[in-house]
Amino acid sequence: MADNIIIFDTTLRDGEQSPGAGLDINEKVQIARQLTLLNVDVIEAGFPVSSPGDFESVRRIAQEIRGVSVAGLARAVEKDVDSAAKALEKAERPRIHVFLATSEIHRKYKLLKAKEEIINLAVKGVKHALKYVSDVEFSTEDASRTELDFLIQVVEAVIDAGAKTVNIPDTVGYAIPDQYASIIRGLKENVKNIHKAVISVHCHNDLGLAVANSLAAVKAGAQQVECTINGIGERAGNAALEEIVMSIKTRHDFYHCSTRVVTKELIATSRLVSALTGLRVQRNKAIVGENAFAHQSGVHQDGILKERTTYEIVKPEDVGLQKTKLVLGKLSGRHAFKERIKELGYELSEKEFERAFEEFKHIADKKKEIFDEDIEAIIGIEKMEIPGIFQLESLSITCGPNAVPTAGVRLRLQDDRVVDNVTTGDGPIDALFKAIDLSTGISGKLQDYNIHAVTSGKDAMGEVDLNIDVDGKIIRGRAVSTDIIEASAKAYLNAINKVAASKLNYTLPH
């Protein structure tokens, strides 16, 4: 077994394939920076040939990120490899990750190719990638359903071709831990040149076994684990990075290996990914869930007070969770606010800090106590802000059982003019959004609308997360406020500002 397990993070590639988890380029770069602080070994930044946006995000990350390998995914075809190579040109440590399905079901129904053709295409893909970079990884897609004797042939062939890493994915989450471990052992024992390459695993969670399968593979000799923050990904998701890392760290006595991940960055990374993707972490999620270090039972509380290890096998501090929470209020100043932001693991520019502090003071006037979650919500929104072409000055709502829902908004434009409009709708939110449409000249069709209480209590901040369709393009908006109507207006304006900023021929309303 390897002493050091390589952590290959695919949050920005496979993780982003989660339905509803689309990220823009700036958000991807922001997550990549945090993954660098987390100290993962490899960041799979995207699938460059799949879209211009994905190509540009891989290019930006490759250009900016240092100290970490940056990988781009490619099918075993020349145009994919060429695209990945071009996107990775400025990377300090570029890796091209080539994949091709090997299982009988994929050969028969998807690829319509014989075994010999699969081997030839795999070898050709690896050799073409080697023309650009020295670090090439090859993935045998649907490996867990591939005949072992054929899998051995493919792995041996791609290593001979020059692949430094060979990934053995459980692409559809079909494997069982004992069976999956036996595949890894079978490769270790029967692939003649296996010592020339790193064996990697990539497990999906369709049966809830992604982490268990990955750890079984590590015990059997796998040297790299491909995983995502919060376990996000296709369908039921991927193996959760935080669970893999903390299992290896906590049970070093069993696995006898380690990772180089800075575990104190796990909570900050989890919360950032959750905030930017809009995918909430379940309360009882291992390691990073809200309840992971919460104790309600009197027996448990008594045990914890006497000796923490009676009911906690991981120290909260080891994953970046503060034991105590600093409560800020309306009398708090810039210094205290800035220090708390640093303690929470965030870095803001002066402009971002001033916007966040202004929002903090605005909320503090309405809310008696402001907690860490409130601050993180403010930061999450402020770091996503598009330069405001439109700013909300005020709003008014009239509604009730016998009243026609009516909304009025006053917006301040970029040129400091003010626009007022009042309109009616099917409900207060509908009327509010229509008034904004009328004021901005941009009409959005609401596709998704979610309200989430950031903290508990009647004065909790509400976070609104919504998607609108403008000319066939889905745009996301987010905002927080103790007033959910205000948060709704700001979230809608956040999306409208993105649309206005992206339109080359957009002109301000007269």
CATH number at residue 476: 3.30.160.270
79 within a domain of the structure (yes/no):
yes
447 and 413 share one domain:
yes
Of 101, 123, 121, 190, the residue nearest 152 (C-alpha): 190
Distance CA 321, CA 318 (A): 7
**DSSP for residue 4:** B
Beta bridge partners of 227: 9
Distance CA 394, CA 373 (A): 26
Q: pTM of the prediction?
A: 0.74
69 within a domain of the structure (yes/no):
yes
Order of strands across the sheet that contains 445-453: 445-453, 462-470, 473-481
First and final C-alpha spacing in the chain: 69
C-alpha triplet 297, 298, 299: angle, nearest 5°: 90
Q: How many domains does the chain have?
A: 3
295 within a domain of the structure (yes/no):
no
- Provide CB contacts within 8 A for 40, sequence distance 6+: 7, 8, 9, 68, 241, 261
Helix H segments across 281-333?
A: 298-306
370 and 450 share one domain:
no
217 and 338 share one domain:
no
Distance CA 293, CA 13 (A): 30
90 and 179 share one domain:
yes
Q: Which of 325, 356, 382 is the last residue of a domain?
A: 382
149 within a domain of the structure (yes/no):
yes
- Provide CB contacts within 8 A for 41, sequence distance 6+: 6, 7, 8, 68, 69, 224, 260
Pair 135, 87: CB distance under 8 Å: no
Q: Which of 347, 382, 417 is the last residue of a domain?
A: 382
354 and 494 share one domain:
no
375 within a domain of the structure (yes/no):
yes
- Mind listing the pLDDT tens digit of every residue in the chain (510 residues)? 568 999 999 999 999 888 777 799 999 999 999 999 999 999 999 999 999 999 999 999 999 999 999 999 999 999 999 999 999 999 999 999 999 999 999 999 999 999 999 999 999 999 999 999 999 999 999 999 999 999 999 999 999 999 999 999 999 999 999 999 999 999 999 999 999 999 999 999 999 999 999 999 999 999 999 999 999 999 999 999 999 999 999 999 999 999 999 999 999 999 999 989 989 999 899 999 888 877 656 576 667 667 878 888 998 899 998 653 445 677 777 777 887 787 776 778 888 888 888 888 887 787 666 777 778 777 766 555 555 689 899 999 999 888 999 999 999 988 888 999 999 999 999 999 999 999 999 999 999 999 988 776 666 778 898 999 988 888 888 888 888 899 999 999 988 988 887 775 666 666
23 and 138 share one domain:
yes
With residue 405 as reference, give the H or E element that holds it: strand 403-413
290 phi, psi to nearest 5 deg: -60, -35
Pair 138, 128: CB distance under 8 Å: no
Domain extent, residue 215, equals 6-277
136 and 88 share one domain:
yes
**DSSP for residue 404:** E
244 within a domain of the structure (yes/no):
yes
Backbone CA torsion sign across 445, 450, 454, 457: positive
308 within a domain of the structure (yes/no):
no
Angle of the 334-343 helix axis to the 350-364 helix axis, nearest 10: 110
C-alpha triplet 316, 282, 385: angle, nearest 5°: 90
431 within a domain of the structure (yes/no):
yes
- Provide CB contacts within 8 A for 138, sequence distance 6+: 97, 98, 99, 100, 122, 125, 126, 158, 163, 165, 166, 167
Cβ count near 415 (within 10 Å)? 7
